[in-house]
Amino acid sequence: MDWMENWFGDFVALGNDLIWTYILIGLLLVLGFYFTFVTRVVQFRLLGDMVRQLFKADRKAFKEGKGTTPFQAFSISTAARVGTGNLAGVAVAISLGGPGAIFWMWLIALIGAATGFIESTLAQIYKVKDKNGFRGGPAYYMEKGLGSRWLGLLFAVLITLCFGLIFNAVQTNTIADAFVGAYDINPAVIGAIIAVLIGIIIFGGIRRIAVVAEVIVPVFATSYIIIALIVMILNVTEVPAVFSLILSNAFGIQEVVGGGFGAAIMNGIQRGLFSNEAGMGSAPNAAATVYVSHPVKQGLVQSLSVLIDTIIICSATAFLILLTDVYTVGEIEGIQLTQNAMTAHLGDWASIFVTVAIFFFAFSSLLGNYYYGQTNIEFISEKKIYLTIFRVAFLIMVMVGATSELAIIWEMADLFMGMMAVVNLIAIALLTKVAVRALRDYQAQLREGKDPAFYRNSFKGLKNVESWDDSPDSDSQK
- How is domain 11-476 classified at the architecture level of CATH? Up-down Bundle (1.20)
Which of the residue ranges 131-140, 206-215, 378-387 would you say has the lowest mean pLDDT? 206-215
- φ/ψ of 133, rounded to 5, equals 130, -90
- Average confidence (pLDDT) over 29-39: 93
Give the pLDDT band of residue 256 (cuts 50, 70, 90): very low
pLDDT of residue 259: 44
Asked whether residue 21 carries a pLDDT value surpassing 70, the answer given is no
Of the two residues 116 and 58, the one the predictor is more confident about is 116
Which residues have a Cβ under 8 Å from the Cβ of 295 and sit 6 or more positions away? Answer: 121, 122, 124, 125, 438, 454
Q: Please write the tens of the pLDDT for every residue from 291-301.
A: 889 999 999 99
Q: Please write the tens of the pLDDT for every residue from 420-436.
A: 888 999 999 999 999 99
Give the pLDDT band of residue 10 (cuts 50, 70, 90): very low
pLDDT of residue 44: 92
Q: What angle do CA 45, 48, 50 make, to 5 degrees?
A: 90
- Average confidence (pLDDT) over 33-39: 95
Which of the residue ranges 2-11, 80-89, 123-132, 161-170 would you say has the lowest mean pLDDT? 2-11
Of the two residues 106 and 176, the one the predictor is more confident about is 106
Which residues are paired to 134 by β-bridges?
A: 129
Q: Please write the tens of the pLDDT for every residue from 66-114.
A: 667 777 777 777 766 666 666 666 777 777 777 878 888 888 889 889 9
Query: Nearest to residue 73, comparing CAs of 298, 328, 326?
Result: 298
Q: Please write the tens of the pLDDT for every residue from 385-403.
A: 998 899 888 888 888 877 7
- Average confidence (pLDDT) over 112-127: 94
Percentage of the chain modeled with pLDDT above 90: 21
- φ/ψ of 84, rounded to 5, equals -65, -25
Cα 163 to its chain centre, rounded Å, is: 10
Sorted by where each begins, the domain ranges of the chain are 11-476
Query: Nearest to residue 439, comparing CAs of 457, 456, 459?
Result: 459
Which residues have a Cβ under 8 Å from the Cβ of 70 and sit 6 or more positions away? Answer: 53, 54, 55, 56, 57, 58, 290, 292, 297, 298, 301
Asked whether residue 60 carries a pLDDT value surpassing 70, the answer given is no
Burial of residue 388 (number of CB atoms within 10 Å: 0-12, 13-18, 19+): exposed
- Average confidence (pLDDT) over 349-366: 76
Of the two residues 294 and 170, the one the predictor is more confident about is 294
Asked whether residue 327 carries a pLDDT value surpassing 70, the answer given is no
Which of the residue ranges 8-22, 48-62, 197-211 would you say has the lowest mean pLDDT? 8-22
Asked whether residue 266 carries a pLDDT value surpassing 70, the answer given is no
Asked whether residue 14 carries a pLDDT value surpassing 60, the answer given is no
Asked whether residue 353 carries a pLDDT value surpassing 50, the answer given is yes
Asked whether residue 145 carries a pLDDT value surpassing 90, the answer given is yes
Q: Please write the tens of the pLDDT for every residue from 270-312.
A: 666 666 778 888 889 988 988 889 999 999 998 998 888 888 8
Percentage of the chain modeled with pLDDT above 70: 78
pLDDT of residue 155: 95
Asked whether residue 443 carries a pLDDT value surpassing 50, the answer given is yes
